[in-house]
Amino acid sequence: MRVHSFADHQVCDAPPLVTEIPVDRASAGRQLSVVTSVPRGRALFWQGEHQGHNIEVLQGVIRAVRLLENGNRQVLAFFWSGDIVRPSQASCQHFTAEAVTPCRIIKYNSAGGVCTATDPCGAHQVLKELLSLVVTIGQKNSIARVASLLLHIRRHLPSDPRRPNALQLLLPRADMADHIGTSLETVCRALAEFKARQLIELPTRKTIRFLDLKGLSRVAAGE
């Protein structure tokens, strides 16, 4: 298996996508589509390539990643269950879309047309997230950024069926760091601090329990 490198943009020869069942989207002006399973880490499309499909996320998380010339990356935005990843109107994509978790998606042709507030293209979808992110990074310290991110993603996190009142923390810590412009070590230190202050619990590395939302909100506000 050849592994994708952010530096050289090699494509990973991952296992093929698994087609599951056809879904009739005709009522929404879409052609007959299929539900497709995407393994974790698989790219749905690459920065710089042409891509003319809408991708509806049925389950899982997709990240929009900008690959930088120095080989690093910036996680621009996350697409959650119920979101639609739309193509950019430009001739090529401005970001790479990757599966953060195993995903189930529907891909269908985009109708094209002009970007609007109710039907934005992919670039405008990410721009909206970036505007909020710029304010967060510019006005808050690293600890406050982590708190803000946790509060922002909380509504998207599914319940953990094995642990009462716990949620599945779907985002890897490295993705959190690359999204809010800080280091992996800072994210880990912030989570440990929130746990020590009894703002959250971390039953496992991939689960979280929110104990004090007001207290976490105060941290996010820089208090």
Please tell me the predicted confidence (pLDDT) of residue 164.
92
Among 140, 106, 96, 127, smallest CA distance to 4 is for 96
Within a domain: residue 52? yes
Q: How big, in percent rounded to 5, are the helix, strand and coil portions of the chain?
A: 30, 25, 45
Please tell me the predicted confidence (pLDDT) of residue 87.
73
Within a domain: residue 2? no
Identify whether residues 88 and 174 lie together within a single domain: no
Percentage above 70 pLDDT, the chain: 70
Instruction: Return d(Cα 55, Cα 125) in angstroms, integer.
Output: 13
| Cα dihedral across residues 11, 16, 21, 24: positive or negative | positive
The model's pLDDT over 152-187, given as tens digits with 9 standing for 90+, comes to 999 999 999 999 999 999 999 999 999 998 999 999
Identify whether residues 98 and 151 lie together within a single domain: no
Within a domain: residue 11? no
Number of domains in the chain: 2
The model's pLDDT over 110-168, given as tens digits with 9 standing for 90+, comes to 655 444 455 554 555 566 666 666 666 666 799 999 999 999 999 999 999 999 999 99
Among 110, 8, 98, smallest CA distance to 51 is for 110
The model's pLDDT over 183-201, given as tens digits with 9 standing for 90+, comes to 999 999 999 999 999 999 9
Please tell me the predicted confidence (pLDDT) of residue 93.
76
Within a domain: residue 111? yes
The model's pLDDT over 15-36, given as tens digits with 9 standing for 90+, comes to 434 445 455 554 444 555 778 9
- Look up tokens 């189930």; give the residue: 104
Identify whether residues 106 and 179 lie together within a single domain: no
Within a domain: residue 74? yes
Identify whether residues 151 and 110 lie together within a single domain: no
* CATH code (residue 152): 1.10.10.10
Task: State the pTM of this model.
Answer: 0.77
Identify whether residues 110 and 171 lie together within a single domain: no
| Cα dihedral across residues 127, 129, 130, 132: positive or negative | positive
Identify whether residues 157 and 66 lie together within a single domain: no
- Stretch 66-74: mean pLDDT, rounded? 82
Within a 13 Å sphere around the CA of 64, how many CA atoms are in the beta-carbon half? 25
Within a domain: residue 54? yes
Please tell me the predicted confidence (pLDDT) of residue 29.
46
**Domain extent at residue 176:** 140-220
Within a domain: residue 30? yes
Please tell me the predicted confidence (pLDDT) of residue 1.
30
123, 71 contact by CB (below 8 A): no
Identify whether residues 101 and 179 lie together within a single domain: no
Identify whether residues 112 and 23 lie together within a single domain: yes
Within a domain: residue 3? no
